[in-house]
Amino acid sequence: MRYSWKIGGPAGYGIKSAGAIFTKAFLKKGLNVFYYSEYPSLIRGGHNTVQVDISDEKVRSSSQKISFLIALDDLTVKMDKGYLRKGGVLIYDENSIQDKKNLPKENVYGIPFSDIAKEAGGLLLRNTVALGASFAFFGCRLKELEKAIEITFEKKDEKIIKENVAAAKAGYNYAKKTFSFNPVEFFDVVRSSKGKRSMTGNEAAAMGAIVGGLKFYAAYPMTPATAILHYLAKHQRDYDLVVHQGEDEIGVIHEAIGASFAGARSMVGTSGGGFALMGEGFSLSGMTETPLVIAEVMRPSPASGLPTWTDQGDLSFVLNSGHGDFPRAVFAPGDPEEAYELIQEALNVSEHYQMPVVFLSDKFLGESKYTISSSRLRDIKIKIDRGEIISKVGKDYKRYLNERSGISSRVFPGTEGGEHVANSDEHDSHGFTVEGFTKDRTIQMNKRQRKMAALKKEMKLPKIFGPKNADISFVSWGSNKGPILDALESADYKIGKGKQSANYIHFTHIYPLPLGVKKILKQANRLILVECNQSAQFGKLLAQEFGIKIKEKILKYDSRPFWPEEITQYFNVHKIDKTLKSLWKKN
Amino acid sequence: MEEKLKAEDFNTSCRPTWCPGCGDFVIWQAVKVALAELNIAPHNSIITYGVGCISNMNNNIKTYAFHSLHGRAIPVAVGAKLANHKMTVLSIAGDGGTYGEGANHLIHASRYNSNITNIVANNHSYSLTTGQSSPTSKKGYKTKTTPWGEVKRPVNPISLVLSAGATFVARGFAGDLEHLKEIIKAGIKHNGFSHIDVMQQCVTFNKEQTVDYFRKKIYKLENEENYDIKNKLMAFEKAEETTKVPIGIFYKKSHPTYESTFPQLEKESLIEKPVGGIKFSDLS
């Protein structure tokens, strides 16, 4: 069973905190929840929403259709009523909705949220009043909501908790007294909530980085990557790392490179625009073979794009960023669990292979709250690999010794006899600049590139969800995992009118792609590429690496993540095998 | 008894590639002698370089060296110092990189009060790219990019870093090795961001601002009666002098270094800390 609840209103109306309380309450009930928020890049006004999808099974996406909508303003009615599912309920603030003509005809309930809030302690409590009313409609117990309020505000003033509890109660009582409504039955089953918690992709990345031995993090605030900076900044003293907010992204990447050169496990975080500024530093990390992880949390670009929305349009950019040929790796997690694991792998690869590694996430994964199992994360154990570091140096140390593996040993400043130049100019094996024509150029270029051969073997093959030899194979990467799996699981991996079997080939190790990928894709019966970008950037990579061109594509780039419905709908709109046109892209 | 370090101990197998008569030779020697006299062994210091004539010095001083990109010597030094504040960290670059391409880093490293020593070989030209006008070039300076003479006014490095919050601000002269070396030593010893602008000739491209030109123009601040290096306003006044140009230490102030503001670095440097050992269940 799946139920989706959404609340909308202007910024400053407590939309996000209402969503957070709601999420906590249902987690406590032992249900699975998925919190997704949409908000414009402003501090007051605009159209802000939180949608919480609740299920007794796994849920890792936001559905297109809304079961229950709370409108705190006219704009929410206008923007979201069209997404109400058949029989879906809309409750609205009677005190602030002006245009009653716009309201749907059925299942609509007006409640004076503002008046009730004022009575309970202040207008700002209208979000909590709405939460109370929701609980009455669901037939849930008020106690459960009160508990969630207490947990949410436990670090705040006692008064805040009291007022919110009073507001919730007032909303609950008003709705219960005034309306009658069939309870949502699956909410009522008693379940254990043990080990369940909600976590965003950004939190998981920050936590994984700490567990993975991160020592130095530098960043310049940029949505939607900033939550990683917030988390690490807050906890730096507890877990013994240094977090530096730099002067700009150019400074940030060079500061991290300096720290890494001096011996600290280092990472930076940003979004596409910030990574654009980091381009020269990215190349510098490649040339000097200074380990570095770059967490790039994508938002729709070009330029400032849509700062608070989602997209996967930076894949080609990170694959090709930085002047010159140099090795790199790209990882892309599909959910917080993978984020937690992959950031640790990224740190290991960066230090083992002495190269820049991109951890590519997006707003949808970074800022949505997933339900995760703590024990699953506890079970993820990745050994820290710092690569070859020598602490006793013999005679004539060569930082860039032409090793067969391409990996030369590192030595950190402070070690006697290990003095050398980490050089952005082309250099010889000692690191000294080479000018004019020498064979060192080719030697060092080949040495650096040789690292890719071993790395390729280490990169993991995509995970296949569903039946092995399916009629249809969806191919995708990153955060699309959630909507695709939700769609396929709800259809029992049988899709379309003919109930064809379907599976999902999920890529997390994006570059360099391991060789086995070709075989997997060649064996598939029918491939459909799913990406949140305009030009099928991962598809281009598959074509470039293996000559595999996936003609059938579902591409979305309207700034929203996929809804699971869009995956299943594809088969209602398209006659199977006849048309290669996607839903969103003509030609 | 340990042998005293000598300037030669900092030599590498590479010889400099500067033009004969270049001020870079003097700066090179001053840095080596300063490190030797302060008894900072080659493995205990990190020097970061930008890109430019002076930055090719990476090949000629034996320390841990990071030859970065144009304008980026300072941020690499800031990061290295945060990672290991027990190292002596210097950044060495030219006027183009420091006051042009990397000016933002200069302002902010001054503001952070990173405990690094920033030496700028200021020859008022982009010499490695064959002598174009730089951020410190005089108005009217004729180059290939300014055929009718530079129209933009030069930046005043001393005033700039003073207002940005640097806690040690000095100017040296590449025609006075002994004086420059003492400034560099004082800069390294200072706890905080030390900025040393070094007035320097470019024998190949800048025919006007020669060693003689500077020699006639300069006077030493330490010979001035009643000059107080703790007085920032006095420092600004001296910084704005143009007819005669003072060299020496303009300003020096005690202020907590950036690194010292991290309590987690109190007992040990970042790189001395264990890597790993934190489990998921330890996280809140």
Sequence-separated (6 or more) residues with CB below 8 Å from residue A259: A215, A216, A218, A242, A266, B79, B80, B82, B83, B270
Domain A2-194 = CATH 3.40.920.10: yes
Q: Which residues of A39-78 are buried (b: 16+ CB within 10 A; e: fewer)?
A: beeeeeebbbbbbbbbbbeebbbbbbebbbbbbbbbbbbe
With left for phi above 0 and alpha for psi between -120 and 50, is residue A199 left, alpha or beta?
beta
Domains delineated in chain B: 7-282 (3.40.50.970)
pLDDT of residue B88: 98
For residue B284, the model assigns a pLDDT of 73
Q: Measured between CA atoms, how close is B88 to chain A, in angstroms? A: 10
Q: Residue A579 has what pLDDT? A: 39
Interface A:B, Cβ pairs < 8 A: 202
Long-range contacts of A516-525 (CB under 8 A, 24+ apart): A516/A461, A517/A461, A517/A462, A517/A542, A517/A545, A517/A546, A518/A546, A518/A548, A520/A461, A520/A462, A520/A464, A521/A475, A521/A546, A521/A548, A522/A548, A523/A469, A524/A470, A524/A473, A525/A469, A525/A470, A525/A471, A525/A472, A525/A473
Q: What is the pLDDT of residues B78-122, one digit of tens each?
A: 999 999 999 999 999 999 999 999 999 999 999 999 999 999 999
Q: Measure in Å the smallest separation between the Cα of B100 and chain A Cα atoms.
A: 14
| Closest residue to A210, CB basis, from B67, B83, B283 | B283
CATH top-level class of A463-573: alpha beta
Which DSSP symbol is given to B263? G
Contact B84 A263 (CB under 8 A): yes
Answer whether B79 sits within 8 Å of A254, measured CB to CB: yes
* Closest CA in chain A for residue B16: A433
Asked if B104 is an interface residue toward chain A (Cβ–Cβ < 8 A), one would say yes
Q: What percent of chain B has pLDDT over 70?
A: 99
Yes or no, beta carbons of A251 and B105 under 8 Å apart: yes
Report pLDDT digits (tens) over B47-69: 999 999 999 999 999 999 999 99
**Chain B: residue whose CA lies nearest to A205:** B280
**Whole-number mean pLDDT of chain B?**
96
Q: Give dist(CA A148, CA A23) in Å, integer.
A: 9
Q: Is B78 on the interface with A (CB under 8 A)?
A: yes
A476 and A484 Cβ atoms separated by less than 8 Å: yes
Q: In the prediction, which pLDDT does A578 show?
A: 41
Among B67, B68, B79, the residue with its CB nearest the CB of A256 is: B79
Question: What's the confidence (pLDDT) of residue A572?
Answer: 72
Tokens of A124: 């700002």
What are phi and psi for residue A527, nearest 5 degrees?
Answer: -100, 135
Please indicate if any CB of chain A lies within 8 Å of the CB of B105.
yes
What topology is assigned to A199-379 in CATH?
Rossmann fold (3.40.50)
Whole-angstrom Cα distance, residue A233 to residue A247? 16
Is B273–A240 a contact, with Cβ atoms under 8 angstroms apart?
yes
* Residues of chain B found within 8 Å of residue A418, distances taken between Cβ atoms: 43, 64
Mean per-residue pLDDT for B255-280? 97
Q: How many CB atoms lie within 10 A of CB A400?
A: 24
Taking CA–CA distances from B260, the nearest residue in chain A reads: A242
Q: Which residue of B has its CA nearest to A233?
A: B262
Which residues have CB under 8 Å from B143's CB, separation 6+? B125, B131, B132, B133, B137, B150, B205
**What is the pTM assigned to this prediction?**
0.96
Q: CA of B47 to nearest chain A CA: how many angstroms apart?
A: 9
> Which residue is it, tokens 């809030």?
A117
Contact assessment for residue A255 and residue A290, using Cβ atoms and an 8 Å cutoff:
no
Residue of B nearest to A236 (CA): B264
Q: Do B76 and A413 touch (CB under 8 A)?
A: no
Domains A2-194 and A463-573 alike in fold: no
The domain locations on chain A are 2-194, 199-379, 388-458, 463-573
| Per-residue pLDDT at A575 | 45
The C-alpha atoms of residue B171 and residue B191 are separated, in whole angstroms, by 18
User: Which residues of chain A does B32 touch, with a Cβ-Cβ cutoff of 8 Å?
Assistant: none
Give the tens place of pLDDT for each residue, B153-175. Answer: 999 999 999 999 999 999 999 99
Residue A228, classed as helix, strand or coil, is helix
Rounded Cα gap, residues B117 and B166, in angstroms:
11
Per DSSP, helices labelled H in A314-406 are 315-320, 336-353, 363-367, 374-379
- pLDDT at residue A574, as a whole number: 54
Q: Is the ipTM of this complex over 0.95?
A: yes
What number of other Cβ atoms are within 10 A of residue B244's Cβ?
A: 9
Of A238, A244, A380, nearest to B82 by CB-CB distance is A244
User: What's the half-sphere exposure (Cβ side, CA atoms, 13 Å) at A511?
Assistant: 25
Tokens of residue A519, six digits: 């075989």
- CA A322/CA A283 separation, integer angstroms: 5
Q: What is the pLDDT along chain A (587 residues), one digit of tens a residue?
A: 999 999 999 999 999 999 999 999 999 999 999 999 999 888 888 999 999 999 999 999 999 999 999 999 999 999 999 999 999 999 999 999 999 999 999 999 999 999 999 999 999 999 999 999 999 999 999 999 999 999 999 988 899 999 999 999 999 999 999 998 888 989 988 888 899 999 999 999 999 999 999 999 999 999 999 999 999 999 999 999 999 999 999 999 999 999 999 999 999 999 999 999 999 999 999 999 999 999 999 999 999 999 999 999 999 999 999 999 999 999 999 999 999 999 999 999 999 999 999 999 999 999 999 999 999 999 999 999 999 999 999 999 999 999 999 999 999 999 999 999 999 999 999 999 998 899 999 999 999 999 999 999 999 999 999 999 999 999 999 999 999 999 999 999 999 888 999 999 999 999 999 999 999 999 999 999 999 999 999 999 999 999 999 999 999 999 999 999 999 888 776 544 343 444 444 33
Of B104, B275, B280, the CB nearest to A247: B104
Interface check for B46 against chain A (CB to CB < 8 A): the answer is yes
Residue of A nearest to B278 (CA): A211
Pairwise CB contact (< 8 Å): A260 & B83: yes
